[in-house]
Chains A and B, each alone.
Chain A
Amino acid sequence: MSDQPILKVEKLTQIYPTAAGPITVLHEVSFALGAGESLAIVGPSGSGKTTLLGLCAGLDRPSGGDVAIAGRSIGGLSEDERAKVRNEQVGFVFQNFQLIPTLTALENVLVPLELRGESGREPEARALLARVGLGAREAHYPIQLSGGEQQRVALARAFINAPKILFCDEPTGNLDGATSHAMVDLIFGLNKELGTTLVLVTHDPELAKKCGRVLRLRDGRVVEDSEVRTGLTG
């Protein structure tokens, strides 16, 4: 583990108001992850996994506590400032792929760079697509790709901005067994290759076991924080 944590979560609490009164979805969750480390967030449905992932990635504001990415607290940042942090430091892989349906595979991969105003980076995007085995499908639209192919495009998009941390929300949840294995190999391969910190939410114990650390949630509280292995995953 390096000295400076890439992701530091302190007493993170999330409370949602409802008609029946406020509901505490996350209760003072704390942990830290160093560069290249991997963490699996597991737990039953409704335990707060996705909420925790969203807060870690700066997709929402916590009711209490703080999140710091690469040493920078994002709790006090505005929505647009957090978007900038996401663009520069964070990569995403979603359960339902979330490719933009109107863009080709190549264009989807390029979006994070184009958002920064960077142009002329097509060769890198093509290389990444080739790396995930889709070199020949760059001009295809999401609707023309299978689920596994779409998820691989999503992975290429997640790595195009060389993120310090990659968030994966059930990355294999919509894939069949074989495709799922290939996807997991890709995620961990790139994670190792590029030294990216990895946080993934999963129901799959096998996938969780591949991470260096497992955080088990129940009713918004951490009930287990175990290190599967020490050091880098792999």
Chain B
Amino acid sequence: MNFVLKMAWRDSRMARRRLVLFSLSIVLGVTALVAIGSFSANLQRAIDDQSKALLGADLAVSSRSAPTPEADAFLAGLDGERAGEITFSSMVVFPSADNQTRLVTVRGIEGGYPFYGDVKTSPAGGYARLAQGDVVVVEETLMKQFGLKAGDPLKLGEKVFTIAGGLEQLPGDSAAVATLSPRVLVARSALAETGLLGRGSLVRYRAYFKFAPGFDVERFVEQKRERFRELRLGVDTVEERRKELGQALQNVQGFLSLVGFVALVLGAIGVASAIHVYVRQKITTVAVLRCLGASAWQSFAVYLVQGLALGLLGALAGAAVGVMVQLALPSLVKGLLPFDVEFFVSWAAVGRGLVAGVMVGGLFTLLPLLAVRRVSPLVAIRSAFAERTGGDPLRWGVYVGIVAAVTGFAMWQTQHWTWGLGFTAALLVSFGVLAAAARGVAWAARRFMPKRLPYVWRQGVANLHRPNNRTVLLLLSLGLGTFLLLTLTLTRETLLSQIRTSEDGARPNLLFFDIQDDQFEPLKVLLAAQGVPEQASAPIVTMRLLSLKGRTVTELLKDDTVHIPTWTLRREYRSTYRGELSNTETVTAGRFVGRVTDADTVIPISVEEGLAKDMQLGLGDAVEFDVQGVPMKARVESLRRVDWKRMSPNFFVVFPEGVLEAAPKFFVVAAKAADATESARVQQAVVSAFPNVSALDLALVIKTLDGIFSKVQFVVQFMSLFTVATGVIVLVGAVLTGRFQRVRETVLLRTLGASQAQLMQIQLVEYAVLGVLGALVGGVLAYVANAALAVWVFKAPVILPAMPLAGAVVVVTGLTVATGWLSGRGITRQPPLEVLRQES
């Protein structure tokens, strides 16, 4: 062993700079793993430390309708301090900002909520002033958007409030969630004067409890779970919230770690490729060692030690950089987290990153190193003998080890064996396609090279297929980087284009809801007067489910063998009635019945196919609803497919005409505004005339979603950049190893009279071709992956925008050529003799 270590150290002397460069390939992969792992540990500790603040209470009980007297009595009987909150959507008007309007989530708070954690406002103390009754705290982002400041007025319903401050943090809420619908906090007691309650708004009720120290909330909830179900109350405890957040964190960490892991695998391939070249240069040394009596194991071990040291060095550097990157992560995810995060280095994460780096790096390095065992000592006297040919079973063992390590890591990160296998399969397919494309390119370059091309072109293209070419490695690294980044861009485009299509043409882009029965006709008149007439409308009747196929909802909720999502049983259904299908619906089974004459019989209804699947409903099945106190028997007569993306009144359950007309109802109206100005003007007019009516602006929805996608994409892109940067390092490594391999040939060309410009052009042609091909192959893979995601995951139409691919080709080619030129420039500048002396 002593000899092996000593020899490994001595033998590396002349190549240490090169070896350090090789090790850089895995640095960024380990960096990504360590940064994500350690930051996740920070988050996990924050969740553990601030778990009570995550909920703001020991127990939260929620209901989608005002608690029944029975439920209220049950809650009143709980032995703890109680606070409450009601939440609903409404429009607000900002008189100081030209009476602009905005749909917000109003949270009417009563009691001492939050019991744990602090509400942060700007200026401080704003939340404490809510009790005064005439003040509100408004989402900070909204304040900025409308140029508001503390002291400005805000009109909610019929009451004008004073803004006490901007809301920065509320225990348990993430600012990202609030982006979808900004929050306005107000004292619950002040809501009565707004006139908004009891007018058809979908209100969510919450009660918060703080129990005496030592009270076992989990046990209590477990004991009373049945009772909560019977009363249709949802419960959330600190532990449940902690678990949910922990699971979400685990999922995100798993996903991001896998993105980082791709960088590590790519880097490891880069290291293996560089070692392959290195080992080929060491064959004579190995043969001499064998002549002098070194065993196959000893000579192999000399280089294995170098390979492992390389991996360890890269992993250590990666861990160090990872800790530094971890410092930057909180600012990246700022606003996405519902709690504060304290920085510390997780040594466990550092250790895991190191192990992953050394293991993956080591396994990939083994592949080229195995050849050392088979170097014949005869090479020392006869160079024709390189190594023994024939299959090497150990090589297959290493392949199996690599696949097992990658799969094991993926399973460990995702905690799902299917996802782990899926990741490995996707990686294998991507690598396989890229490698096959590279081989195809090399073959085509040899087979179809036009003889009339200028010499530098022929030479440059020929470099793609000649011995010791780097085509496979470079196409792998370039293609993989392009693939990852382009897939992200395309996925975002797919999701947004889905919504954008609804923006096109004459389709509605404004949706007014919570319109009372008596407001319906006047509103239509107002809209017509504003030049944006109603395009579609529907009455809405709220109802609850009583029974399904003869079994009561209470029974179903108690029965653990029934796998129907609870929300479908507990929710308040907002159904409509109409005589015919709307243009966003198609019947997929049965017959749509538009009118009944006899309201006493079983009513034929139409159910949305997705909901029917969840509720295990088929044609002819019996469903019973409680329509505001009146039980109503119905039968599934048809199933419908609904295009939910279209901004139109869409419903889960549609009743025929002739049944619900007399029930208390409200309306939803869709209209089309020509532009943002008209949209804002119409909204202002509507809210001014009907303060309880809310408006949903499609342009705002798109903008909001775009903002969220951007934030998420930025985080994922940040992680993907590690892969791209690794690709660049691998590229530099490949160019440099290529340089060591080709130096004699270049020098020979120089000796034979090739000019510096010619040599440079040969290199540029080679790298330009590689860059274009890498971007194209990676791009095609990204389009295929995006199409698969669109079809199977997002159920969206496949998009094929040309611009991202064109951009990728330009950027990747430019990057490749620039890297190739920078890394290879020294070689063509120096006189042949000097180069020969240096490189020999």
A interface vs B, CB < 8 Å? 50, 53-54, 57, 59-60, 79-80, 83-88, 90, 92, 94-95, 98-103, 107, 111-112, 114-117, 119, 143, 157, 169
Contact = CB atoms under 8 A, between A and B. Distances in A.
B380 interface: yes
Given A54-B378, A107-B10, A83 B2 contact: no
Given A60-B376, A100-B288, A83 B294 contact: yes
B689 to A, nearest CB: 88
B119 interface: no
30 contacts: A50-B382, A54-B381, A54-B382, A59-B376, A59-B378, A60-B378, A79-B295, A80-B295, A80-B297, A83-B290, A83-B293, A83-B295, A85-B293, A86-B293, A87-B294, A92-B291, A94-B288, A94-B381, A98-B287, A98-B288, A102-B10, A102-B11, A102-B285, A103-B10, A107-B10, A111-B7, A111-B289, A114-B3, A114-B6, A115-B289
B288 A169 contact: no
Interface in B1-16: 2-3, 6-7, 10-15
Nearest to B295: A80
6 shortest A-B CB distances, which residue pairs? A87-B293, A80-B295, A59-B377, A114-B3, A86-B293, A102-B11
Given A59-B377, A102-B10, A102-B13, A79 B293 contact: no
B16 to A, nearest CB: 10
B288 A115 contact: no
Contacts of B295: 79-80, 83-84
Contacts of A143: 840
A145 to B, nearest CB: 14
A84 B293 contact: yes
Nearest to A97: B288
Contacts of B378: 54, 59-60
Contacts of B11: 100, 102-103
Interface string B372-402: 0000111011100000000000000000000
Contacts, number: 91
A220 B377 CA distance: 21
Contacts of A98: 284, 287-288, 291, 380
Contacts of B840: 143
B298 interface: yes
A79 to B, nearest CB: 6
B217 interface: no
B381 A59 contact: yes
B292 A111 contact: yes
B221 interface: no
A38 to B, nearest CB: 19
B14 A102 contact: yes
B702 interface: no
A80 B297 CA distance: 8
Given A86-B291, A115-B292, 6 more contacts: A79-B296, A80-B296, A95-B381, A98-B288, A103-B11, A115-B294
Contacts of B2: 114, 117, 119
B291 A57 contact: yes
A100 B285 contact: yes
A94 B291 CA distance: 10
Contacts of A103: 10-11
B297 to A, nearest CB: 7
B302 to A, nearest CB: 10
A34 to B, nearest CB: 23
Nearest to A89: B293
Interface string B14-44: 1100000000000000000000000000000
A94 B289 CA distance: 13
Given A100-B11, A100-B288, A143-B840, A115 B382 contact: no
Interface string B465-493: 00000000000000000000000000000
B289 A100 contact: yes
Interface string B353-384: 00000000000000000000000111011100
